[in-house]
Structure 1
Amino acid sequence: MVEIAEDLDRICTTLDKLTLDSLSLIEEEIQLKLILENSMCEGETHLAKARYIMGHKNVSALQLPTENSPEFSASIQTLSNEDEKLYGQKSFEICSIKKDEDKSVHDPIKWFGILVPQNLNYAQNMFKQALQWAIQAINVQTQLRETLIAIGQLKKVKANMFVK
């Protein structure tokens, strides 16, 4: 009987800790999403300012490469999914891969001309930061999901202790 009480106490303590962890992860996820939203808004604002400065025809989809554009090499960013060995959780990070190593990599901002307004550079940087914030939010979501699964498993164990 004493063993059951000790096990129950250990399970309840672990459940309390996991619940507090999940609440802090929820708060962190909300903060990251707010920062992501602000970063996107700032990027869009700088993009609008650049479009105003250069003219609406100089910053538009017309400057994007098409099928008839000359060949170029651009850097590609992909997500890598790594399993952490300590906790068994997954984490994501951005990996930059060059499409063709022998060709020079072109900066997409050059599609809009040689002398672009500083606002276009700011917009590009803000969107890059937004991507980083999104990856961090995904990692926090993954941790939260793992914590909630652990809480559910412990609740089942606790319920089974009272059935016996």
Structure 2
Amino acid sequence: MAAAGARAELDSLLLRLLADLEELEAKRAALNSRVEEGWLSLSQARYAMGAKAVGPLQFAARMQPRVRVAACESQDQLQKFRVVKAGAPAPEEVGPREATLRRRKGPPKTQEPESAPVPQDPLNWFGILVPHSLRQAQASFQEGLQLAADIASLQIRINWGQSQLRGLKQKLKQLESEAA
């Protein structure tokens, strides 16, 4: 009886693992196509604007990231990666800034710390009227970053599923040897 339950759990885990592997393959293919499109659009922009107009000399002296990758735990205790805008507070940072109570009779004595300014669009480094291919390259790389975060999360879930699968196989062998 216990062996039948373990086999059913093994089957469902195997089906979920195969679905995750199929999704991983699709996301990797999408990532490869996005990166390829991005490089193609970038080379078209360099051709349209000139090789010296699109290059490292146009980068800002102090570049600030527009997005960051945040790691958090999902409901099943696995790490999940997501892309977060640089100006947005992380979920851990939301909440009261002070742990003590304040008196509300007058204006507060301490000023709230100013939030970091949102970084400007990097396309503005190359001029006001940039070619459409440069915007396409930016969009392709942004989508690629989101896909990369999804792939990393999916890979963690697959590794967890594989370890669970090994454990269930050992448990099933042990149950079958006890029954014999």
- Secondary structure at the aligned position of 1:91 is classed as strand
Q: Distance in 1 between matches of 2:7 and 2:84?
A: 41
- Tell me what 1:93 maps to: 82
Name segments (4+ residues, structure 1) moved above 3 Å.
98-104
- Secondary structure at the aligned position of 2:86 is classed as strand
2:35 is the alignment partner of 1:40: yes
Give the superposed CA RMSD.
2.0
The answer for unaligned runs of 5 or more in structure 2 is 89-113
| Cα pair distance change 1:102/1:128, threshold 3 Å | closer
- Tell me what 1:15 maps to: 10
Give the TM-score taking structure 1 as reference length: 0.84
Partners of 2:86 and 2:118 within 8 A in 1:
no
Q: 1:79 aligns with which of 31, 55, 69?
A: 69
Shift of 1:163: 4.1
- Tell me what 1:3 maps to: none
| Cα pair distance change 1:12/1:49, threshold 3 Å | same
The answer for unaligned runs of 5 or more in structure 1 is 1-5
Q: What is the percentage of aligned positions where both structures have the same residue?
A: 26
Higher relative contact order (CA 8 A, sep 6+): 2
Q: 2:166 aligns with which of 114, 138, 152?
A: 152
- Secondary structure at the aligned position of 1:110 is classed as helix
Shift of 1:98: 3.6
2:76 is the alignment partner of 1:62: no
- Tell me what 1:50 maps to: 45
Higher helix share: 1
Q: Distance in 1 between matches of 2:121 and 2:66?
A: 11
